[in-house]
Amino acid sequence: MNKELLLVVDGLSREKNVEKQIVFSALESAISSATKKKLNDHEIDIEVAIDRNSGSFTTSRRWIVVEDNFKDSEDFNEKSQITLSDAKKINSEINVDEFISENIEAPNFGRIGAMAAKQVIVQKIREAERNQILKDFLDRNESILYGSIRKIDRFGAIIETGKLESFLPRDQMIPRENLRVGDKIKAFVSGVENTNKGSQLFITRNSPNFLIKLFENEVPEIEEGILSIKSAARDPGSRSKIAVYSNDKRIDPIGTCVGMRGSRVQAVTNELSGERVDIVLWAEDDAQFVINSLAPSEVLKISVDEEEHSMDIVVDENNLAQAIGRGGQNVRLASDLTGWSLNIISESESVEKENEEISKSMNLFVSKLDIDEETASHLINQGYSSLEELAYTSDEEFEAVENVESETLNQIRNKARDSLLLDAMLDDTEKSDTDTITSKTFSELDKNIHKLLSNANIKTLSELADFSIDELQEVCEVDEDLAGKIIMQAREPIFEKDKPSNA
């Protein structure tokens, strides 16, 4: 009987292409399950150990050791657990989470037990076979799977590739794609997940990587290294963009990917259920890459914001709708392709926005730096738009500013630094709850002060502390003495903060 058991293990291992160890484990699980069924108690823990050389096996019942106080818990099960103190009586060296075992004689399973054992063996072997097939596929590092649809339901489709099964979720299908049982399809391997039925291979037809792999299969120059695919973006089932680059200046990357009479790109489009594919020339310069991604729309001007990683794209009024695309599709795909946040605006909007920024910078420089509009205009024309740029510019950069004397420029830089320092101090003060002006803040001076300040849109003590007596009189129409008292009271938190600790 033992020799027959070894022959069975060897035969199953060869037939199902699984390791002998897996077959032995399946047999051990089957005998354990059949023993529980014969003893009519599924709560007990049965361990079966088969000798890999002789084929003989032993059956034992186990109890896991738990802490003594766990015995009072509702989760304690005396059929499979034993307290540490009771276990010590059997084995003085036993510890918590170890097992106490007792050998038992394997019962005669009978027909019911044999059927239960067979069911467990078949299930375990089937899982092992499926995992082995999946492992062999993954070891080949294939990213594109080609198979036929075996089943479709509301959750997705089961795809068969020989003995390999994969799952295409419903949300990973191309929208409005009409798939039927028996259809041959390609898909991109997205990953493997553990499910109740074991490891499951998941695939997708929506990923930009699927588009890239389809082009790699259709264009031999990509595999040869002559062409490179830099990025891709998709609106599945509708439109996509792919950026290509030639490592050989003699080769036209776009024409190569299009193919003779469009044969190559058409093959990709057919696989994607008619999805339109725009092939874009990649450029190392980000602005040029963005221009290429929006073709054939003509770009008039680009404004780059490095901090926000965004660009304002100025196009002619007649090309505005084309550049944006239906429902913003074109600019959204271009943004995904380039990695930049893109904002399409018309030439008139660009001029209006530029005038607003110039006006904002002009007011900032005049009010904060105490300079005239002419000097501020020279700074703006030179490219300065913020106090930070003025405060931390170098002497060499300042020398390039025309129509402004060097001494004046140094004074401007110092004032910019002082203004930033003061703003930082006021920001710290604004974080205090006491900074907000309420109806009780100036109750001892004048009950109407709060209303006057609110009408003037002065809401914090920090804002009020910046005012001079004359300025406050113009805003609130109060006399000079009262204006002075209000401003001094508003500045008290700043003075208190700057006092030495021993004052």
Q: What is the pLDDT of residues 34-86, one digit of tens each?
A: 777 777 777 888 888 888 887 777 888 888 898 888 888 888 888 888 888 88
Q: Which residue has the higher pLDDT, 385 or 281?
A: 281
Q: What is the DSSP-derived secondary structure letter of residue 160?
A: E
SS3 category, 116: helix
Distance between CA 363 and CA 386 in Å, rounded?
Answer: 11
- Give the C-alpha separation, 222 to 216, whole Å: 6
**Is residue 464 predicted with pLDDT exceeding 50?**
yes
pLDDT digits (tens, 9 = 90+) for 16-39: 777 778 778 877 777 787 777 777
Task: Lay out the sheet containing 341-346: strands in order across.
Answer: 299-305, 310-315, 341-346
- Checking if the pLDDT of 478 tops 80, the result is no
- pLDDT recorded at residue 360: 86
Q: What is the CATH number of domain 2-130?
A: 3.30.1480.10
Who wins on pLDDT, 20 or 321? 321
pLDDT of 494 above 70: no
Calpha distance 276→237 (Å, rounded): 8
Per CATH, 370-429 and 433-498 having the same topology is answered yes
CA pair distance 225, 468, nearest whole angstrom = 70
Instruction: Map out the domains of the chain as residue ranges.
Output: 2-130, 142-206, 370-429, 433-498
Residue 246: pLDDT band (50, 70, 90) is very high
The most confident of the ranges 88-97, 187-196, 276-285 is: 276-285
pLDDT of 113 higher than 60: no
Q: Which of 2, 104, 102 is CA-nearest to residue 52?
A: 2
Distance (Å, whole) CA 153 – CA 304? 48
pLDDT value at residue 437: 63
pLDDT in tens, 124-174: 777 777 777 778 787 788 889 999 999 999 899 999 988 888 999 999 999
Model confidence at 196: pLDDT above 90: no
The per-residue pLDDT for 385 is 79
Tell me, letter by letter, the H, E, C secondary structure of 170-224: HHHCCCCCCCCCCCEEEEEEEEEEEECCEEEEEEECCCHHHHHHHHHHHCHHHHC
Q: What is the pLDDT of residue 435?
A: 57
Please answer whether residues 352 and 403 qualify as being in contact, where contact means their C-beta atoms are separated by less than 8 angstroms.
no
Note the CATH number of domain 370-429: 1.10.150.20
Q: How large is the average pLDDT for residues 440-458?
A: 62
Q: Indicate the average pLDDT of the chain.
A: 81
% of the chain at pLDDT higher than 70: 85
Return the beta strands (E) in 381-455 as ranges. none
Residue 307: other Cβ atoms inside 10 A = 5
Looking at the predicted structure, is the pLDDT value of residue 402 above 50? yes
Give me the mean pLDDT over the 250-255 stretch.
Answer: 92
Mean pLDDT of 327-350: 90
Q: Which amino acid is at 277?
A: V
Q: How many CB atoms lie within 10 A of CB 219?
A: 23
**Please, are residues 68 and 58 in contact by the beta-carbon 8 Å criterion?**
no
296 cis-preceded (ω within 30 degrees of 0): yes
pLDDT band (50, 70, 90) for residue 117: low
Assign 444 a pLDDT band (cuts: 50, 70, 90): very low
State in words which class domain 433-498 has: mainly alpha
- By the 10 Å C-beta count (0-12 exposed, 13-18 middle, 19+ buried), 394 is classed as exposed
Q: Which fold has domain 142-206?
A: OB fold (Dihydrolipoamide Acetyltransferase, E2P) (2.40.50)
pLDDT at 465 over 60: yes
Task: Report pLDDT for 292.
Answer: 93
Q: What's the whole-number mean pLDDT along residues 208-223? A: 93
| Per-residue pLDDT, 503 | 40
What does the pLDDT average to over 412-416?
A: 80
